[in-house]
């Protein structure tokens, strides 16, 4: 037995003594779960230069760290961020909640279902013309790996895992969008089993259970494509501005959810989150009263107020949680994430 094999044996023995699987192990010591899985399978070469330090960190952390208080799910929880109105903050909410969950140690997959692709451009860094020509560039990867290509692949071999791109953010991967998604409604109209397509694409990922959450940034319509996505979701989160036109979109979503339940009985409204809140406006209280009368307890106590850091972070091409961790928007998004997790845990008896 060589030295690298002895190192691996020590690490695995320490993990097994704690009674952890690889997901527990990742959560406890903060090392990427894929790295730990490679060590567990014997695929990681611990004899490479510099890996001595990694071995020490993993071994010491495995012996000394405790498992954090984080819920475990039998399958990934699939949440759509959706409202039938543009500019409601779906992308801002989806991207930043995904980023926050990843920073807390969860494995998160963000699916960009909006043909505009703002989640994609926020999570994957921009590239200059020379970088885009390289075979391993994000631009080249997105040509092959994206939601449109996935949804148009052979039904029996459809697997969303083949369209995942790893991001530079902790615990966060993405299935990117492209403009071809705008054609999906027309293409789905001619497809058999269209209500099952997204669920079918998720099948291998659900069985694998690597991800804790799959968050979907939805397009802003009620067409076949959005219906197909909702047929594969557990919950809907609705970001909503405190304005009359957005409240109309909120009421339309309530009807949409009931329609989709004919195909997906487990779909539930997780909550309505007020976004771009400006407390100086009288419409804020009026909107809260109107929405509360219709939706009651599903209205989140947490809300996201107007903050220039959100717009600044979009120009910088990154989530506001990364752009300014201490700004008001980031603090409020952490509160929204906390409330979302609490609701999921209560709904699942955890």
Domain ranges of the chain: 3-64, 77-347
Sheet bearing 268-275, strands edge to edge = 165-166, 172-175, 108-112, 213-217, 77-81, 235-241, 268-275
Q: What's residue 167's pLDDT?
A: 94
At 96 the pLDDT is 97
The pLDDT of residue 223: 87
d(Cα 227, Cα 232) in Å, to the nearest integer? Answer: 9
For domain 77-347, the CATH superfamily is P-loop containing nucleotide triphosphate hydrolases (3.40.50.300)
Biggest alpha carbon distance in the chain? 73
pLDDT on residue 212 = 97
Give the β-pairing of 165-166 and 172-175: antiparallel
The count of C-alpha atoms lying within 13 angstroms of the C-alpha of 183, restricted to the half-sphere facing its C-beta, is 10
The backbone torsions φ and ψ at residue 2, rounded to the nearest 5 degrees and listed phi first, read -80, 175
Kindly tell me if the per-residue pLDDT of 350 is higher than 70.
no
CA distance to 60, 70, 90, 200, per residue, from 207 (Å)? 32, 20, 28, 11
More confident residue, 73 or 190: 73
Q: Is the pLDDT of residue 341 over 90?
A: yes
pLDDT digits (tens, 9 = 90+) for 194-236: 889 999 999 999 999 899 999 999 998 888 999 999 999 999 9
- Own/partner contacts of 66-74, CB < 8 Å, gap of 24 or more, are 66/28, 67/18, 67/20, 67/24, 67/27, 67/28, 68/27, 68/28, 68/105, 70/27, 70/104, 70/105, 70/106, 71/341, 71/344, 71/345, 71/348, 71/350, 72/23, 72/212, 73/209, 73/212, 73/348, 74/209
Q: What is the pLDDT of residue 75?
A: 94
**For residue 122, pLDDT beyond 70:** yes
CATH code for the domain defined by 3-64:
1.10.260
Smallest CA-to-CA distance from 226 within 163, 151, 281, 158 is with 151
- The predicted-structure confidence for 58-78, as pLDDT tens digits, reads as follows 989 999 999 999 999 999 999
Residue 291 has pLDDT above 90, yes or no: no
Mean pLDDT confidence for 78-103: 91
Per-residue model confidence (pLDDT) at position 263: 93
Instruction: Indicate whether 86 pLDDT > 70.
Output: yes
**pLDDT-based confidence at residue 329 (cuts at 50, 70, 90):** very high
Q: How far apart are CA 292 and CA 298, in angstroms?
A: 8
Asked if residue 342 has pLDDT above 90, the reply is: yes
Q: Which of 67, 70, 142 lies closest to 106 in space, CA to CA?
A: 70
Q: What is the pLDDT of residue 121?
A: 94
Distance of CA 257 to the CA centre of its chain: 20
Mean pLDDT of 176-195: 88
Closest by CA position to 40, among listed 60, 26, 27, 50: 26
What is the residue-averaged pLDDT of the chain? 89
Determine the distance from the C-alpha atom of residue 212 to the mean position of all C-alpha atoms in its chain, rounded to a whole number: 9
At 129 the pLDDT is 67
**Could you read off the pLDDT of 95-117 as tens digits, one per residue?**
999 999 999 999 999 999 999 99
pLDDT on residue 332: 97
| Confidence (pTM) | 0.92
Do residues 46 and 55 lie in contact, with contact meaning Cβ atoms separated by under 8 Å? yes
Which pLDDT score, from 0 to 100, does residue 50 have?
65
In this prediction, residues 276-284 reach a mean pLDDT of: 79
């Amino acid at each position: 037995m060589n030295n690298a094999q002895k190192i691996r044996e020590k690490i695995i023995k320490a993990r097994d003594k704690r009674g952890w699987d690889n997901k527990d192990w990742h959560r406890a010591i903060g090392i990427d779960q894929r790295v730990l899985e490679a060590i567990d399978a014997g695929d990681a070469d611990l004899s490479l230069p510099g890996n001595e330090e990694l071995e020490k960190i993993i071994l010491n952390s495995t012996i000394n760290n405790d498992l954090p208080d984080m819920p475990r799910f039998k399958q990934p929880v699939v949440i759509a961020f959706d409202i039938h109105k543009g500019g409601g903050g779906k992308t801002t909410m989806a991207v930043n909640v995904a980023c926050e969950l990843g920073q807390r140690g969860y494995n998160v997959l963000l699916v960009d279902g909006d043909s505009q692709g703002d989640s994609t451009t926020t999570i994957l860094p921009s590239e200059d013309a020379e970088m885009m020509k390289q075979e391993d560039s994000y631009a080249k990867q997105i040509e092959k790996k994206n939601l449109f290509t996935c949804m148009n692949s052979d039904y029996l071999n459809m697997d969303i895992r083949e369209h995942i791109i790893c991001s530079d953010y902790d615990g966060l991967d993405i299935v990117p969008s492209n403009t071809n998604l705008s054609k999906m409604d027309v293409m789905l109209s001619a497809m058999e089993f269209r209500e099952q397509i997204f669920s079918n694409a998720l099948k291998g990922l659900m069985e694998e259970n690597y991800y804790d959450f799959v968050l979907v940034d939805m397009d802003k319509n009620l067409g076949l494509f959005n219906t197909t996505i909702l047929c594969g979701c557990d919950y809907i989160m609705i970001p909503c501005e405190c304005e009359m036109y957005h409240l109309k979109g909120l009421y339309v979503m309530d009807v949409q959810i009931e329609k989709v339940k004919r195909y997906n009985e487990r779909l539930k409204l997780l909550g309505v989150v007020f976004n771009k809140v400006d407390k100086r406006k009288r419409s804020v209280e009026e909107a809260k009263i109107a929405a509360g009368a219709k939706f009651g307890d599903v209205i989140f106590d947490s809300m996201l107020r107007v903050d220039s850091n959100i717009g600044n972070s979009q120009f910088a091409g990154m989530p506001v949680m990364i752009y300014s961790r201490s700004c008001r928007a980031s603090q409020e998004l952490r509160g929204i994430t906390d409330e979302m997790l609490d609701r999921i845990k209560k709904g699942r008896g955890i």
